[in-house]
Chains A and B, each alone.
Chain A
């Protein structure tokens, strides 16, 4: 593919609001996880909650979108001057020429979960104030963002579970290549809800301790929430040296099981190979791999096999989910931004909570953050239903 410019980007997770907090958290190896005290959930697990989400007030004209997911979206859009950079792009290109591509797994389903607790005891009806379209529906975060910026161009949500907001980069890149748009708001937003906390618990995939990706004793995930956005544009003639570029995207399917990865990591390997091919790079060109690294025994083993088969143990790898929790449909975009920070701040992020890397996975797994020159970074995102996506980022020479 033709490289694309990330002309602006931002991330908000339990590590903090915006890039400075995220970078400081990664450098310090800080974990934002805490014992689960979310809503009325009573589960023995840890979560990554973003602070001050419910303090967000949506603009009066957009109150129909009010739900935890869209509050988190707005909170994140307003960090690092992202919203004003978007508005400048809209002024430059026109309101039909900036597309929206956002990933989410559960969008505002919390709103429906709560509405079900307020059903009319006689009729069973949901409360009057519950609006399905602009809160629960997968598209609600994309429609909210489109209305937030008064855009009139293409928009979509991608919902492929935990690969959602990696795949948005591929979808946006295709439309930029076609010329249907001149810029794309890409990103992912997923917020805590009962469906994912109880659902992952029912699959026995949540840990009762803070998650420990790739640790020999890992035993499950910590569910987190987060939002990350990037503005993608075709490369201008005067691309500044050091600017972050999207170089390649690779997508594949496992064709194996709805909730278990292909045991040999075959789908994962196909996605990484496709991303390298798309970027025109070899395995030896990659300086850092941001692993999907959820901390379930099966996921890390499968991904580890695929990474070891392709890269051996030559490339430093880490997972940040011990810091942020698994932000599910937002994880792809959050970790794309982590790659951007690695590339622009000479940082190899470590893996908080992980103490003893699994000796059965022969890769160079980083426990502590350390400085290093990173020219090309690859990030993996794999979701339920066997949906895989890998992305390659680099910097302009």
Chain B
């Protein structure tokens, strides 16, 4: 069969990364209007959660809620209706460390909360509880290829199921000793709300095709470090084009040898 062009419209963008606290300030830096300065990620308090859940919210839950809410707000979307795709390399690293440490000890009675927070879909679960969204929520793990894998499934839902779908690609750090085995330095991620048709809120159009080209790099050393050290931020070159209002193709790392070429066009 002839493949369907993987085309969708971007309606909202969110970003939270070290030194890039939100999409608006990231735009200024990605445009080159302000220098990039590395700084730990700032995770906002998830006021959308009920008090009990808010107190227990992990870094990962704060991260995913912040990105999702910013993306939806920038699109003016109703969070209670949005289909979502969450894509990440791992689940909650700090929680995983605490569980493994306890299971290696003489007392193996793990905390029930720790156990249910250990699932890879903890972020998606809290998102559903916080937004009261009963829409489908996909949760993908693809190690360093999380952004690309998440983008392909999001496009699937947008194009095949004809529904607005929000991709939240994110990663978080493990503490030592796991950090020595998986050195993601900090929490970071981005959100893209994609729609099947152009709307009054559309920002740009993307068309994705498989490629074997090398990925585009960031000229700024600090931003290039983010791109290579945090898997979700492999898409930074795309975000830079969006911030600058530039168009054309940009190649993003996916799953070697397969890369994704994203052609960005004005609406």
Contact = CB atoms under 8 A, between A and B. Distances in A.
A197 to B, nearest CB: 9
B136 A155 contact: no
Contacts of B73: none
27 contacts: A113-B100, A113-B104, A126-B178, A131-B181, A139-B143, A139-B145, A152-B257, A154-B149, A159-B120, A161-B120, A173-B160, A174-B153, A174-B156, A174-B157, A178-B4, A178-B6, A179-B2, A179-B4, A180-B210, A202-B112, A253-B128, A255-B133, A274-B136, A384-B119, A385-B124, A385-B125, A387-B121
B129 A257 contact: yes
A178 B134 contact: no
Nearest to A154: B152
Given A116-B101, A252-B135, A386 B141 contact: no
B3 interface: yes
A234 B1 contact: yes
Contacts of B141: 137-139, 142, 156-159
Interface in A273-304: 274
Nearest to B209: A180
Contacts of A140: 143
Given A157-B142, A177-B160, A259-B112, A385 B177 contact: no
Interface in A258-273: 258-259, 266-267, 270
B255 A154 contact: yes
Contacts of B128: 253-256, 385-386
B117 interface: yes
B230 interface: no
Contacts of A266: 134
Interface in A144-173: 146, 152-161, 167, 171, 173
Given A124-B176, A198-B110, A253-B136, 11 more contacts: A96-B210, A116-B100, A132-B181, A138-B141, A140-B143, A155-B142, A174-B157, A178-B159, A180-B210, A254-B128, A258-B119
Contacts of A267: 134
Contact of A132 (B115, B124, B182): B182
A112 B156 contact: no
A254 B134 CA distance: 6
A8 interface: no
Contacts of B139: 158-160, 387
Contacts of B180: 125-126
Interface of A: 1, 96, 105, 109, 112-113, 116-117, 119, 124-126, 130-133, 137-140, 142-143, 146, 152-161, 167, 171, 173-175, 177-180, 194-195, 198-200, 202-203, 234, 251-259, 266-267, 270, 274, 383-387
Q: Which residue, A125, A142, A267, has most C-beta atoms of chain B within 10 A?
A: A142
Nearest to A159: B120
A105 B155 CA distance: 24
Contacts, number: 219
Given A126-B178, A171-B156, A198-B109, A258 B136 contact: no
B90 to A, nearest CB: 6
Interface in B239-258: 254-255, 257-258
A384 B125 contact: yes
A252 B115 contact: no
A96 B259 CA distance: 11
Interface in B81-113: 89-91, 96, 99-101, 103-104, 108-112
B90 A202 contact: no
B229 interface: no
Given A154-B255, A258-B122, A386-B125, A133 B182 contact: yes
- Secondary structure at the B interface, as helix, strand, loop or mixed, is mixed
Contacts of A252: 134-136
A159 B86 CA distance: 10
A203 B129 contact: no
Contacts of A105: 119-120
A122 to B, nearest CB: 12
Nearest to B257: A152
A203 B116 CA distance: 9
Nearest to A112: B100
A138 B120 contact: yes
A258 B129 contact: yes
A159 B153 CA distance: 14
Contacts of B101: 116
A137 B89 contact: yes
A200 B110 CA distance: 9
B125 A179 contact: no
B132 interface: yes
Contacts of B2: 179
Contacts of B1: 179, 234
Contacts of B156: 171, 174-175, 177-178
B177 A160 contact: no
B228 interface: no
Nearest to A161: B119
Nearest to B149: A156
Given A130-B181, A156-B149, A385-B119, A171 B255 contact: no
Contacts of A130: 181
Contact of A258 (B117, B133, B134, B161): B117
Nearest to A42: B108
Q: Which 8 A-B pairs have the closest CB atoms?
A: A385-B125, A174-B156, A199-B115, A138-B141, A179-B3, A159-B120, A251-B136, A132-B181
Nearest to B135: A253
Given A133-B182, A160-B121, A116 B134 contact: no
Q: Which residue, A132, A139, A253, has most C-beta atoms of chain B within 10 A?
A: A253
Q: Which residue, A171, A200, A234, A258, has most C-beta atoms of chain B within 10 A?
A: A258
Contacts of B96: 109, 112
B3 A178 contact: yes
Nearest to B56: A258
